[in-house]
A and B are shown apart, each in its own frame.
Chain A
Amino acid sequence: MSNTQPLLEVRNLRVEFPTRRGTLVALDDVSFEIQPGEVLGVVGESGAGKSMTGAAIIGLLEPPGRIAGGQILLNGRRIDNLPYKEMRTVRGREIGAIFQDPLTTLNPLYTVGRQLVETMTTHLPIGPGEARKKAIEWLELVGIPAAAQRIDSYPHEFSGGMRQRVVIALALCAEPKLIVADEPTTALDVSIQAQVIALLKTLAREKGTSMMLVTHDMGVIAETADRVAVMYAGRIAEIGAVRQVVKHPSHPYTIGLMGSIPPITHRLERMQQIEGSMPRLSAIPRGCAYNPRCPQVFARCREERPELTPAGETRASCWLYDAESEQQVLRAGAHA
């Protein structure tokens, strides 16, 4: 991997939700980094903690959720414990966000132009007049036809796909170095999804912006991301370059996940389905969270929690790749 300082570094992030029946751990020991200009895809089933990770990074966890441990560093500076006022200057200016549903993300009572202008004048040293000019440029850039006229339209006058383009313009207009995109195409028509993803990809490359792309669509990841993190039950199961994770997955969960989409790997002969379902946060099993569903489970998986370790071309949190348990692996392999 590259030796430059990563743009974003997440170290051992832990997010908890205090509830009536005890504290739920929504994210546990999540670590990854994003290099400048890199696109990191984050995949997993709903409830795996993908969106939660994004929310923690932009400092907008829904209460009572809170960061209970670990660090988030942006350009080497800790941002997980910033006071609200300082964090505000990070949001929008240094980290842009794109949400899932463009129908609800825009304030219905303000024109899109106004929303763009207020974002730019908040963060950039420009006046309203210049901001308006730039707003039109941004609308053109994200592919809104007749931008100069449409700038004074209200959100409800745009279609869903067009609204998501406006949201992208809003996320990018203060020129942040990182975009956190939380399922940016899930709420859109299938025919429009590809266009929006292509737009995001092009803009990120042109502006040199890094991106954390949260999605449950492996196809989108394969097409867009440089690296991918696979999440399961609030932890990272596997992380690595997209090609490697897709072609040579290491973690049994990732193998299962890849098996459930049309096979492109040589290891698997037929399509597979993962048995069972992801545990609820209140009932995460001891040891590896995946152990009840894992086809290659062995004793240690039920006792101890694995950490991310090098596994082939990627890194996986799985005891299969731990030196100490190699003997057991062999035995497990024999059983299988």
Chain B
Amino acid sequence: MPAFIISRVLQALPVMLAVALISFAMFAYVGDPVAIMLGQDYTQAQRDALIRDLGLDQPFFVQFGTFLLNAVQGEFGLSYRLSRPVIELIAERAPATLELALTAAFLALLVGVPMGIYTGLYRNSWLSRFFLTFSLIGVSLPTFLIGILLILCFSVWLGWLPSFGRGDTVQLGWWSTGFLTASGLKALILPSITLGLFQMTLIMRLVRAEMLEVLRTDYIKFARARGLTNRAVNFGHALKNTLVPVITITGLQLGAIIAFAIVTETVFQWPGMGLLFIQSVGAADIPVMAAYLILIAALFVTINLIVDLLYFAVDPRLRVGGAKGH
């Protein structure tokens, strides 16, 4: 088990390094950071001094090393646009994005998995056909349009739910949460549905496809031939085998949710990291983009590691360390 974790961590390292390199390249070579930092008027001496301060006169690998060292400590420099430390900006906005993403992921799993199981088991019932059609519409609807339609319905026409912002938040240490106030929860409803709907339909279709695949296998046929109850066959044997691929995709989708939060946050003016990122892209604010990229990569790598560990728990074939009997 520890060997397994270590090998996975070692595999993740090159990914993180590659991402860091891209971030660094963006940071160092795109645009002219020195000119941007100095503003309109500066002398050549000031410029040289800043270059020396920033270490931009050092060789590439020294610069990259410094960049890595700083990044590990959460030091990403100042935002060009807001002239504040990038890490501060991100820390302020991270809770909003994470709360939104987790709620959406929870919603997607809670609804998507049972729907997938149902449509896989009863593939010809009218309800399955309805779910499938619904899911196809879900996949074809762009996230931002779902948001717009929900706002039109529930904010503009019915006036039930807020169309922007997080509502009132409560400060728990450095973490600001919207879970504890009525207006915070109300504000969460539309964005989390918007963000979760696409993932929900995706998870449903995936679970269904896997379920159909598993139901065709010999061991399911054999389980039926042994006279096991439908319940034992479908929810024991079939579902457990379906879980393995579902865990992977769900893990990947959690990453996708955080990325798609960019869109949802734009539609609902949700004060999270995504909104910060999109504003930075618009303003070519490289330090924020670079930091966001590294953070997202770290998040994905962590999620992948958790996914691998879950595999380990579900599939006994992995536990023997590759020594296949036979």
Contacts and interface: CB of A to CB of B under 8 A. Distances in A.
> In the complex, is A directly touching B at CB under 8 Å?
yes
Residue in A89, A101, A119 whose Cβ sees the most chain B Cβ within 10 Å: A119
Nearest to A157: B325
A92 B226 contact: yes
Interface string B101-130: 000000000000000000000000000000
Nearest to A173: B226
B317 A154 contact: yes
Contacts of A109: 237, 240-241, 314-316
Contact of B219 (A60, A104, A118): A104
A94 to B, nearest CB: 9
Nearest to A122: B228
Interface string A285-313: 00000000000000000000000000000
A156 B227 contact: no
Q: Which applies to chain B's interface (DSSP): helix, strand, loop or mixed? A: helix
Interface residues of B, number: 26
B88 to A, nearest CB: 47
B227 A93 contact: yes
Contacts of B10: none
Interface in B176-231: 217-219, 221-230
A108 B241 contact: yes
A227 interface: no
Given A88-B230, A92-B227, A170-B226, A159 B326 contact: yes
Nearest to A111: B316
A322 B228 CA distance: 47
Contact of B325 (A92, A110, A156): A156
A106 B217 CA distance: 10
Given A109-B316, A156-B316, A119 B225 contact: no
Interface string A90-108: 1111001101010011111
Given A118-B232, A156-B325, A105 B227 contact: no
Contacts of B232: 118, 122
A201 to B, nearest CB: 21
A91 B226 contact: yes
Contacts of A96: 225-226
A60 B227 contact: no
Nearest to A180: B225
A89 B221 CA distance: 15
Contacts of A174: 226-227
A230 interface: no
A143 interface: no
A23 to B, nearest CB: 20
Contacts of A11: none
Contacts of B314: 109
Contact of B224 (A91, A111, A157, A167): A91
B246 to A, nearest CB: 13
Nearest to B317: A156
Interface in A75-130: 84, 88-93, 96-97, 99, 101, 104-111, 118-119, 122-123
Contact of A97 (B225, B229, B320): B225
Interface in A33-63: 58, 60
A17 interface: no
A154 B326 CA distance: 12
A32 interface: no
A119 B228 contact: yes
B228 A92 contact: yes
A88 B227 CA distance: 5
B266 to A, nearest CB: 43
Contact of A106 (B222, B227, B240, B317): B222
A91 B316 contact: no
Contacts of B237: 107, 109-110
B190 to A, nearest CB: 40
A109 B223 CA distance: 13
Nearest to B326: A159
Nearest to B315: A109
Contact of B222 (A105, A108, A154): A105
Nearest to B217: A104
A6 interface: no
B227 A158 contact: no
Given A107-B241, A108-B241, A154-B317, A99 B218 contact: yes
Interface in B153-191: none
A160 interface: yes
A165 B229 CA distance: 23
Residue in B222, B227, B236, B317 whose Cβ sees the most chain A Cβ within 10 Å: B227
A58 B228 contact: no
A68 B245 CA distance: 38
Contacts of A105: 218-219, 222
B317 A108 contact: yes
Contacts of A88: 224, 227-230
B249 to A, nearest CB: 18
B219 A157 contact: no
Nearest to A91: B227
B184 to A, nearest CB: 41
A90 B226 CA distance: 9
B230 A101 contact: no
Contact of B316 (A92, A104, A154): A154
Nearest to B325: A157
A301 to B, nearest CB: 38
A58 B325 contact: no
5 contacts: A91-B226, A101-B218, A109-B241, A118-B236, A159-B325
The 6 closest A-B pairs by CB, nearest first: A92-B227, A97-B225, A91-B227, A104-B218, A157-B325, A92-B226
Interface of B: 217-219, 221-230, 232, 236-237, 240-241, 314-317, 320, 324-326
Given A109-B316, A159-B325, 14 more contacts: A90-B227, A92-B225, A105-B222, A106-B222, A108-B317, A109-B241, A118-B228, A122-B229, A122-B232, A156-B316, A157-B325, A158-B325, A167-B222, A174-B226
